Structure 1
Amino acid sequence: MNREQISRLAHANHPIKSPLDDDSVRRLLEHGVPRGDERVLDLGCGSGEWLLRALSTHGQLHAEGVDISEDDLRQADEEASRLGVQSRLALHHLKAADFRSPRSFDLILSVGATHAFGGLLPTLAAAREHLAPGGRVLIGEGFWEREPSQEAAEMLGDYSDLATTLDLVVADGWTPVHGHVSTRRELDDYEWTCWGSLASWALDHPDHPDSSQALETATNRRTEWLHVYRDMWGFVSLVLRRTSD
């Protein structure tokens, strides 16, 4: 079972692949597309959940998504067809960093996907290339709520604390116009749901050749969360505008 298959099973009951509940997603999108007729681009869209929600809410909105997973894009296309928004959604199978378009976009999304560009600031640099004047970026990034242990830092990567993260964004030429720090409930719900969904699949399919691997992965990830980073790691979502166009 590869990483993509594990992720699909783990997110079966939490299609937003970040520690955000439905109300937080709704409010972030409200701030990201205040008119409702914007052109939206998601760099690392996965199964397109952010785009599908925006398209379903705003009948004049058009969206494009970029991802390296053919299966996720197929799922996004099928769901768009079911929702009746397929004609307003374009999907591109390639690396987010390789995407080019003659059009600019009013909202650029990259929530929980900054690894595709090598970090927060490189992601903002990529977003700037696609952003229309006066447009917005909705970005989601991890941060350290307190000094991480060496094990946590090696496991999750190079993050700053929340204040430093915002300082870096502002120094890079962006102004936050809205933000949301994921609550403890959102963070915990995400972990419980992901690894619980993966474990449930394994227990429901005991004869599947990947069942043992799936259950072991769910157990290991839950253990890492509880023992290594639960009290150290947080997640912030920001709606940004360029300080000067």
Structure 2
Amino acid sequence: MITSDSELPPRLGSLTFHGPLSEARATRMIERLAAAGPADVLDIGCGWGELLLRVLEAAPAAEGVGIDINAEDLARGRALAERRGLADRVAFVEESALGTDRGPVDAVLCLGSSQALCDPELPYDPAAVLRELRRLVRPGGRVVLGEGFWERTPTGAELAGMWPGASLDDHFSLGALVDLAVEAGFRPAWIETASAEEWEEFESGYRYDTEVWLAAHPDHPLAAETRERVDRQRSGWLNGYRNVLGIAYLTLVAAA
């Protein structure tokens, strides 16, 4: 039996950005980035590229490339670009970011996707991420990095409630993270962090459409698997990283 798309669990339809990022904060970040007059913009782990498209709208001389390995998200990005008259200025490419040769450029976006720059066979290393981002941007260029940090030291119980294998070494403090950016060759031009409201908007929006679908389709063949997944995700937030894991948004300028 062929199942129509309307009968399948929806995916991220209630999210504008794939992360805890408000419209107001995104607007300010884009204004700062566009003011530098970038000619080319690279979005690492772009998803559907909403932030990339808005940067191109704010910087009409710029062209952009978004790379990701999720074909569904990339198709959504291409459709958005077409509707907004940006299809001739942006490419959405299905490929790995590991060791990418798509730099150097004037501006790099990497929000919540820095793991794409790391060898998956090695422990996650934010210092290596920042060195790679420095390689991908020209001197004087900008990087907008969205990166996790510990707002406080998590307890053992909180770590156990997060994602599988969560450990204290998964993240740094905000100060240590910014120090790594400086060591990699950046100056931290702007430092800001996601608010509790932004987190709640994201976490609820991440599951909203699926929760509504589950309520309407409790006996669907995919319901049990979907219910287990979203229950696990929600528990990881509420019983694990809520008010413990932060997201820093760093606007970094590449030193000469």
Q: TM-score, normalised on structure 2?
A: 0.84
Structure with a larger share of its residues in helix: 1
- With over 3 angstroms needed to count, the CA separation of the structure-2 counterparts of 1:9 and 1:149, relative to structure 1, is farther
Runs of 4+ residues deviating >6 angstroms = none
8 Å contact from structure 2 (residues 43, 108) kept in 1: yes
SS in 2 for 1:160: coil
Tell me, yes or no, if structure 1 residue 140 matches structure 2 residue 146: yes
8 Å contact from structure 2 (residues 134, 185) kept in 1: no
8 Å contact from structure 1 (residues 65, 92) kept in 2: yes
Map of 1:4 onto structure 2? none
Q: Which of 128, 148, 159 in structure 1 is aligned with 2:171? A: 159
**Residue 88 of structure 1: how far off its partner (Å):** 0.1
Map of 1:108 onto structure 2? 108
Residues of 2 paired with 1:38 and 1:100: CA distance? 17
8 Å contact from structure 2 (residues 38, 106) kept in 1: no
- With over 3 angstroms needed to count, the CA separation of the structure-2 counterparts of 1:147 and 1:35, relative to structure 1, is closer
Map of 1:168 onto structure 2? 180
- With over 3 angstroms needed to count, the CA separation of the structure-2 counterparts of 1:53 and 1:206, relative to structure 1, is farther
- With over 3 angstroms needed to count, the CA separation of the structure-2 counterparts of 1:79 and 1:213, relative to structure 1, is same
**Residue 146 of structure 1: how far off its partner (Å):** 0.9
Map of 1:94 onto structure 2? 95
SS in 2 for 1:240: strand
Deviation larger for 49-58 or 106-115 = 49-58
**1:199 partner letter:** E
Map of 1:61 onto structure 2? 62
8 Å contact from structure 2 (residues 134, 186) kept in 1: no
- With over 3 angstroms needed to count, the CA separation of the structure-2 counterparts of 1:223 and 1:111, relative to structure 1, is same
- With over 3 angstroms needed to count, the CA separation of the structure-2 counterparts of 1:117 and 1:149, relative to structure 1, is farther
- With over 3 angstroms needed to count, the CA separation of the structure-2 counterparts of 1:9 and 1:15, relative to structure 1, is farther
Deviation larger for 200-209 or 133-142 = 200-209
Residues of 2 paired with 1:81 and 1:71: CA distance? 16
SS in 2 for 1:40: strand
Number of equivalences: 236
**Residue 190 of structure 1: how far off its partner (Å):** 1.2
SS in 2 for 1:238: strand
**Residue 234 of structure 1: how far off its partner (Å):** 0.8
SS in 1 for 2:48: coil
Tell me, yes or no, if structure 1 residue 46 matches structure 2 residue 52: no
SS in 2 for 1:59: coil
8 Å contact from structure 1 (residues 139, 238) kept in 2: yes
Q: Summarize deviations over 1:55-93 as a string: whole Å, max 9, x none.
A: 233322211111111222111111111111000002221
Tell me, yes or no, if structure 1 residue 228 matches structure 2 residue 229: no
Q: TM-score, normalised on structure 1?
A: 0.88
Give the root-mean-square deviation of aligned CA atoms. 2.0
Structure 2 unaligned residues grouped into runs of 5+: 1-8, 119-124
8 Å contact from structure 1 (residues 15, 49) kept in 2: yes
Residues of 2 paired with 1:48 and 1:29: CA distance? 13
Deviation larger for 175-184 or 189-198 = 189-198
**Residue 198 of structure 1: how far off its partner (Å):** 2.2
**2:174 partner letter:** L
Tell me, yes or no, if structure 1 residue 130 matches structure 2 residue 136: yes
- With over 3 angstroms needed to count, the CA separation of the structure-2 counterparts of 1:167 and 1:133, relative to structure 1, is closer
Q: How does 1:200-211 map to 2 (within 5 A)?
A: 200-206=212-218, 208-211=220-223
8 Å contact from structure 2 (residues 34, 59) kept in 1: no
Residues of 2 paired with 1:50 and 1:18: CA distance? 11
SS in 2 for 1:33: helix
